[in-house]
Chain A
Amino acid sequence: MLKYSVKRILLAIVTIFIIAAITFFAMNAIPGGPFAKEKAPEPRVQAVLEARYGLNKPVGEQFIMYLTNLLRGDFGVSLKTGREISQTISTSFSVSATLGAMAIVVALVFGLLLGSIAALMRGKWPDRTIIFFTILFVSVPSFILATLLLLIFSHGLGWFQVWSVTETNYTLPVIALALYPMSYITRLTKSSMLDVLGQDYIRTARAKGVREQLVIAKHALRNALIPVITYVGPLTAYILTGSLVVETVFGIGGLGTHFVSAINNRDYPLVMGTTIFLATLMVIMTLVSDLLYKAIDPKITFD
């Protein structure tokens, strides 16, 4: 277990380093580089940039400088506003994190529930209905879903206020964000549950005289959950990228909205900083879910 953890953590560190490298050098391939002077309108911003990134030095040195800055939590400054990117992240990420955490919980709870129901009632109408809707939900791009929800329930029926500083109702954004991963988890749980229900140890439990509800709750569910744990990493990644779209559609001023407008404004340092921040978060969540998987599943021998 220890050896595996060390290996896995090293891979995560390497991955984060590679992401930083790709991001930095890709941005440097842009004619004029990401910190090009003509793109920074104000002389004040220019001066800050020169000092911070060592723009006169060779690219390799610039990269090392950039990395050390990152390690100190310094993501640089925005080209457009001259504001500290770390400050932008720290102020806007809390909204995104709240939204994302809610969506993750909703997706997991309903996904597990619906998936188990589908597996236990395999071939009957609840199973068919659930599976039909999961296929439907994974076929709608999130910005269309978000727009439709906004149009129908906010503008049309008026059940939910449009998002503003005073009106922060998370219901619609959470639904828009959670439906896709929920559907995925439902399907994952169903197939995992079916797999487990066909295992010999389930027959053993029945042969012992364990009551059917307990066979499911004690013997099947816990085993069926194990593969779902590995999805927590990708789930986080999906939620974080999905929130770019959902925040923009609903006008929520989270990190996602800032990221999308940075892309449209070609504010490269902000794109870079946000990419590295989000990517690191995703890599860490994948790491956590992998380690959790190893810790929970005693079937895997620790070698």
Chain B
Amino acid sequence: MSQPLLQVKNLHTMFPTESGEVRAVNGINFSLERGKVLGIVGESGSGKSVTAYSILRILDNPGRITQGEILFEETDITKLPRNQMRQIRGSKISIIFQDPMTSLNPVYTVGNQLMEAIRLHTSRNRQQAQERALEMLELVGVNEPKKRLKQYPYQLSGGMRQRVMIAMALACEPDILIADEPTTALDVTIQAQILELMQELKNKLGMAIIMITHDLGVIAEMCDEIIVMYAGRVCERGTADEIFYNPRHEYTKGLLRSIPKMTTTKERLTPIGGSPVDLLNMPKGCAFAARCDRAMKICLTEQPEEIEINPDHRAACWVNVKEGALAQGGQNNG
């Protein structure tokens, strides 16, 4: 088996502030194969976006990676010198952000910003870069691409701008596209279009995608694998089917209960009680314990580790340990 394209090992990222260290990411692991789609799910503050920014090393000040490795094609990019890292950004690993309204520079034309990305990482001259930009706009389905090149971002709708962002991210044919909640700020109808476009482009260009979202439903059908994050840790991972139909972490179950289903109309939605954990004062044990209906004494003192449920599924929850033991105990007795 070949080495995966990207491996994140025991990544820790934190933000030192006046009031203390905000520990946003606390030791997460995952790997991504070429051409696969990985979904990262969690509520706001769970560390999804920080993970993405850590990979590209574009953390907002004063955030920094304190521990762990990020191997891209077997090179640890957390230790690369700045200028080499810069060459990876936008050419090997690209990102699109949540809010297309604010992610494009308002004082430059769309064409200018697209061509900037192209000319940074390829040897194309102005003319060729413009051709490429045009080609990319066509590819992402922007109508009248020639006219758009000369327009400023404020003259475009939200959906259009996100398409431009995607065009910009893909212009240098990256190996990995990170999509940080690419549809959250858009209308529902546009959301579907953008997701469809990404799926289509993936099939055409063959890049791997890391899809970050707080909405499990949005990404389910796209993802080869899903990671559920809480308080900067992975609580559950597995194929979409496993996560949806066989959730084994209380937090995942809570997340699923809070999604409206098309089939059952009578069922009430159940929100997860309590408030997200305070990242300044991370509790011992499982971060979710205080909000968990089935919390046990051990959950408050010891942090659960990821346990294999089946080859396609792992979860970090003490309940599984208990149930596993009971099941085994039952076997032993019987």
Please give the residue numbers on chain A whose beta carbons come within 8 Å of chain B beta carbons, in ascending order: 198-201, 203-212, 219, 222-223, 226, 296-299, 301
Identify which of B92-100, B231-239, B266-274, B277-285 touches chain A: B92-100
What separation, in Å, do the CA atoms of A209 and B152 have in the docked complex?
Answer: 21
Q: List 13 A-B contacts (CB under 8 A).
A: A203-B58, A203-B97, A204-B103, A206-B89, A207-B90, A208-B120, A208-B168, A209-B117, A210-B86, A296-B107, A298-B107, A298-B152, A298-B154
Instruction: Point out the residues of chain A lying under 8 angstroms from B66, CB to CB.
Output: none
Q: How far is the CB of A221 from chain B (nearest CB, A)?
A: 10
Tell me whether A200 and B97 are in contact in the complex, defined as CB-CB below 8 angstroms, given that A208-B168, A298-B152, A299-B106 are known contacts: yes
Contact A201 B106 (CB under 8 A): yes
Instruction: Point out the residues of chain A lying under 8 angstroms from B86, CB to CB.
Output: 209-211
| A-contact 0/1 string along B94-131, CB 8 Å cutoff | 11010100111111100000001100110000000000
What separation, in Å, do the CA atoms of A204 and B106 have in the docked complex?
Answer: 12
Q: Say yes or no for B264: interface residue by CB 8 A criterion.
A: no
Number of A-B residue pairs, CB cutoff 8 Å, is: 71
Q: How far is the CB of B82 from chain A (nearest CB, A)?
A: 8
Tell me whether A223 and B106 are in contact in the complex, defined as CB-CB below 8 angstroms, given that A206-B89, A208-B117 are known contacts: yes
Contact B116 A210 (CB under 8 A): yes
Instruction: Point out the residues of chain B lying under 8 angstroms from A203, CB to CB.
Output: 53, 58, 60, 97, 103
Tell me whether A200 and B89 are in contact in the complex, defined as CB-CB below 8 angstroms, given that A207-B56, A208-B116, A298-B152 are known contacts: no
Tell me whether A209 and B90 are in contact in the complex, defined as CB-CB below 8 angstroms, given that A203-B58, A298-B154, A301-B154 are known contacts: yes
Instruction: Point out the residues of chain B lying under 8 angstroms from A209, CB to CB.
Output: 86-91, 117, 120-121
Q: Say yes or no for B263: interface residue by CB 8 A criterion.
A: no
What separation, in Å, do the CA atoms of A296 and B89 have in the docked complex?
Answer: 30
Instruction: Point out the residues of chain B lying under 8 angstroms from A219, CB to CB.
Output: 105, 108
Which of B107, B108, B116, B152 lies at the interface centre, i.e. has the most chain A CB atoms within 10 A of its CB? B107
Q: How far is the CB of B112 from chain A (nearest CB, A)?
A: 10
Q: Say yes or no for B143: interface residue by CB 8 A criterion.
A: no
Residues of B in contact (CB 8 Å), total 31
Instruction: Point out the residues of chain A lying under 8 angstroms from B107, CB to CB.
Output: 222-223, 226, 296-299
What separation, in Å, do the CA atoms of A222 and B108 have in the docked complex?
Answer: 10
Instruction: Point out the residues of chain A lying under 8 angstroms from B121, CB to CB.
Output: 209
Q: Say yes or no for B265: interface residue by CB 8 A criterion.
A: no
Contact B154 A211 (CB under 8 A): no
What separation, in Å, do the CA atoms of A38 and B47 have in the docked complex?
Answer: 83
Partner of A223, one of B95, B103, B105, B154: B105
What separation, in Å, do the CA atoms of A198 and B63 have in the docked complex?
Answer: 13
What separation, in Å, do the CA atoms of A208 and B108 have in the docked complex?
Answer: 15
Q: How far is the CB of B74 from chain A (nearest CB, A)?
A: 21
What separation, in Å, do the CA atoms of A153 and B89 have in the docked complex?
Answer: 54
Contact B102 A199 (CB under 8 A): yes
Q: How far is the CB of A195 from chain B (nearest CB, A)?
A: 12
| A-contact 0/1 string along B55-99, CB 8 Å cutoff | 010101000000000000000000000110011111100110101
Contact B90 A201 (CB under 8 A): no
What separation, in Å, do the CA atoms of A301 and B56 have in the docked complex?
Answer: 34
Contact B97 A204 (CB under 8 A): yes
Q: How far is the CB of A200 from chain B (nearest CB, A)?
A: 4
Apart from A209-B89, A219-B108, A298-B107, list 8 A-B contacts with CB within 8 A.
Answer: A198-B60, A200-B102, A207-B95, A208-B90, A209-B121, A219-B105, A226-B107, A301-B154
Contact B103 A201 (CB under 8 A): yes
What separation, in Å, do the CA atoms of A171 and B44 have in the docked complex?
Answer: 56
Interface residues in B7-41 (C-beta closer than 8 Å to A): none
Interface residues in B158-172 (C-beta closer than 8 Å to A): 165, 168
What separation, in Å, do the CA atoms of A199 and B107 have in the docked complex?
Answer: 13
What separation, in Å, do the CA atoms of A214 and B213 have in the docked complex?
Answer: 31
Q: How far is the CB of B257 from chain A (nearest CB, A)?
A: 32
What separation, in Å, do the CA atoms of A246 and B17 have in the docked complex?
Answer: 46
Closest to A122 in B: B61
What separation, in Å, do the CA atoms of A201 and B105 have in the docked complex?
Answer: 5
Partner of A204, one of B83, B88, B105: B105
Which of A206, A210, A226 lies at the interface centre, i.e. has the most chain B CB atoms within 10 A of its CB? A206
